Amino acid sequence: MTYSLCDRRPEPTLERLLADLVPPPRFAEARLENYVPDPAHPSQEEAKQRVTAFAAEIGRPRGGGFLSRLRGKRTEAARGIYLDGGFGVGKTHLLTSLFHAVTGEKVYGTFVEYTDLVGALGFQKAVDLLGTSQLVCIDEFELDDPGDTLLMTRLIRELSDRGVAIVATSNTLPDALGEGRFAAQDFLREIQAMAERFEVLRIDGEDYRRRDGVTEIRTLPAPVVEEHAAGQPGATLDAFDALLAHLTKVHPSRYGALIDDVAAAHVTGMHGLTHHHDALRFVVLVDRLYDREVPMLVSLAADGDAAQEGVLEDLFSAELLRSGYRKKYFRALSRLASLANDGRALAG
């Protein structure tokens, strides 16, 4: 029997939300020792060395000892690291490697997973829970709306004040978060206050996925996609437009639960996107599929001659690729090309 993602409406429990605060399967074996910097880009080796040193620093006393408490001084606020760079330069590998290198209490999640956790627990309970950690790792740090800006800047400030080390990855510098998306100048003070908590490490380089020669989103004929879905245990099969409509009914923080136990995702009728609301939700789904190493088998829409193999071009319109979300879109294109390549290999 072939299943559809559109039939799923995940309602993860609080226990599930907490259990998910660990690195995804794709990076379960990521370690500082197996991060291989590109010699052509020295900033990668520099970032590796700094993250290695930072891991050794976590857990050391930072003030706030017995004498400090007698004098009424607060614990020194912890500083964090902000890994900035283009997609595919190894930021997530370094972040997960740091997580594995730290032996104390720690949590790891994407930006949207933390906002969902705060929504489920309430702000103060979330601070109290996360505040017991030595390290909080935040992947894919993006501020797409004013509400998230205020929430996450306050969360980081309060955790930092408690001595929690925070390390984040993003494609946008801290003082440029929200740029081109909403009136960031209205929240400049909050953004700058958050940025002051981080040491920024800029990482240059080429997308490592291109080293395998995978640069295009290769499609399969629709009958091949459908036939493979019917014969693949744990497969899902969805029409692209129906899937986009379904994603509007599921919070992005639940897209991980949406693909639980999916062995391969099959999507037919793929075509270009012109609106941010569809494109951004699909980006999150691609991210979760990539994190969980779920291959994708895709076919083009009928006007793209679905009976033939081909290349999915212009998934995101030129206008989208010029927007403030452009780095998200380019990352998704790279990851989708990799997943589609895995799918074609699976189909033989």
- Which domains can be identified in the chain, with CATH numbers? 31-203 (3.40.50.300), 208-347 (no CATH)
Helices (H), 37-122: 42-57, 66-70, 91-101, 111-121
What pTM, to 2 d.p., does this model score?
A: 0.84
- Residue 198: closest CA among 157, 158, 154, 146: 157
CA-wise closest residue to 312 among 276, 284, 344, 346: 344
Q: Is the pLDDT of residue 47 over 80?
A: yes
- Residues 301-343 have pLDDT tens digits of 876 455 567 899 899 999 999 887 888 898 899 999 999 999 9
pLDDT of residue 142: 73
Give the list of residues 6+ apart from residue 188 with CB closer than 8 angstroms, or none.
Answer: none
- What local confidence, expressed as pLDDT, does residue 35 receive? 94
In 3D space, the residue among 255, 328, 257, 265 whose CA is nearest the CA of residue 293 turns out to be 265
Q: Looking at per-residue confidence, does 1 or 118 come out higher?
A: 118
What percentage of the chain carries pLDDT values higher than 70? 82
Band of the pLDDT at 294, cuts 50, 70, 90?
Answer: very high
CA dihedral 28, 34, 36, 37 (to 10 degrees): 80
Range of lowest pLDDT (173-182, 235-244, 337-346): 173-182
Query: Using 50, 70 and 90 to split pLDDT, how confident is the model at 212?
Result: low
Mean of the pLDDT values across residues 45-55?
Answer: 95
